[in-house]
Amino acid sequence: MTKSTEFYTKRAAELSFRNDCWTDGRFVPAVSGQRFDTLNPATAAVLTRVARGDAKDVDRAVVSGRSAFASGVWAGMTPAERKAVLLRWAQLLRDNLEELALLGTLDVGKPISDTLTIDVPGAAAILQWHAEAIDKLYDEIAPTGGRDLAMVRRVPLGVVGVVVPWNFPLDLAIWKIAPALAVGNSVVLKPAEQSPLSALRLAELASEAGLPDGVLNVVPGFGHEAGRALGLHPDVDCLAFTGSTEIGKLFQGYAGDSNMKQVWLETGGKSPCLVFPDADLDAAAEKAAWGIFFNQGQVCSANSRLLVHESIAQDMIERVKAKAEMLVPGDPLDPSTRLGPMASAEHADRVAGFVAAGRESGRLVTGGGQLSRGASKAYIQPTIFADVPHDALIAREEIFGPVLVVQTFRDEAEAVTLANDTPYGLAASVWTQDLTRALSVSDGLNAGTVSINTVDALSPMTPFGGMKQSGFGRDLSLHSFDKYSALKTVWIKY
């Protein structure tokens, strides 16, 4: 039975927040003693004051991670032993479902219906999948012939830095932590300053599951302080980042300025959804609306450009408009809410700026308002623009909000050209009943994932990542282990 808004409001008020750095298996204040406020975007109220980690805290965490790695306390375990710990951790996520869901809802405004059914179960499932894969990764024997034995072994890198954004703070942390830990590395996690609470609880649960001290450390703080320090640290072997393209470029620079550490980036997107005349328009409209309005549009792979054949354009616009107008921003602790606030008032202001630019360059179909609920001004209406010029700001820049841009095409070639004319290449969607068209269009699209007759197809069994300025890292699937391990050749003559 669905629980009430009153129930979740009461439970939220009873939560105990972890708000210090997690280093060497325990909570410790920042070296500087400084703290920062983390806010509930739905109410603008301060949830708690969190340790403001900086370069000294990052160094403390890296030293802890390096010591744990060198001791072999984790890397020296058998794959089966590491698997058992990670599986216990995944179960603890499930056992603490309600608490973790509430942390996600309070920290970034996600509807409780999503955090309960998508975010936390998804994180647990992906952690379990990577855990179960550990003892199925085989080394190789090269076909050298003669009296030679050449072994190609997969070995951990050492200390992995992980920097994740606020839109899926629990899930994206797990996407990177799970494979990094699975192959034997230590990890230093820097969550977004807007969403530190679930990461700190996650680390505590890892310890409860039996993860040795120092193997996972969490340093909350700001990007220009803790994030930059992690990118520049000379004893970090690899840095995995999900976030904006602008910040991803900074991490590449940090690597060049320090120890040439590996940097794996999953960055921005401006993903197209291409709808052809023979498509199932009801299904296309349903998924097109979900693809841009889910999570308030705060999804790197959101299908933010709807490219429609000119013969069905008005029909599709009306269908998607009807879906959009059914979504009313509301209290994220209300189980009936499907659209919560943006992650912060500052981000809502940024999205509102794009909406203002859109009013000057296109036709506003619906939405466009920045709404207030009590003291919070973080709510944005689902918004659709049509008749948008190809070079308009809202057609080219990642808005990261519930704003859909509709453009038309005449034929398949123009559709592919329009879809690819962006600096990004993260995802795309194609809607058609013609198999030949589906495959030929997907061949022509520069995107890491092309979904046919759906949007944002995702599974731990398939890699997720992009092309061009959407980055080049790949999360999920067996390929994710490649980022966090090195190939070592051991050659024996006998």
Tell me, what's the pLDDT at 1? 57
User: How many Cα atoms sit within 13 Å of 157 on the Cβ side?
Assistant: 22
> H-type helices in 96-216, by residue range?
97-108, 112-114, 120-133, 169-182, 197-209
Q: What is the dihedral of CA 44, 50, 52, 53, to 10 degrees?
A: -130
Q: What is the CATH number of domain 5-267+471-490?
A: 3.40.605.10
**Which sequence spans correspond to the domains of the chain?**
5-267+471-490, 272-460
SS3 category, 52: coil
SS3 category, 428: strand
Q: Could you read off the pLDDT of 115-148 as tens digits, one per residue?
A: 999 999 999 999 999 999 999 999 999 999 889 9
Tell me, what's the pLDDT at 146? 87
Low-confidence ranges of the chain (pLDDT < 70): 1
Helix, strand, coil proportions of the chain in percent (round to 5)? 40, 25, 35
Q: Which DSSP string do the residues of 98-122 spell out, in sequence order?
A: HHHHHHHHHHH---HHHIIIIIHHH
Of 373, 338, 380, 374, the residue nearest 356 (C-alpha): 380
Q: Look up residue 19 and give its DSSP letter.
A: -
For domain 272-460, the CATH architecture is 3-Layer(aba) Sandwich (3.40)
Q: Which DSSP string do the residues of 244-281 spell out, in sequence order?
A: -HHHHHHHHHHHHHTT--EEEEE-----EEEE-TTS-H
Taking each helix axis as running N to C, give the angle between helix 97-108 and helix 169-182, from 0 to 180 degrees, rounded to the nearest 10.
120
Regarding pTM above 0.85, the answer is: yes
120 touches 149 (CB < 8 A): no
Catalytic positions:
266
Cα torsion 74, 78, 84, 86: sign: positive
Encoded tokens for 425: 């290449």
Of 370, 311, 294, 264, the residue nearest 119 (C-alpha): 294
Which residues have CB under 8 Å from 328's CB, separation 6+? 339
296 touches 341 (CB < 8 A): yes
**Distance between CA atoms of 432 and 397, rounded to whole angstroms?**
27
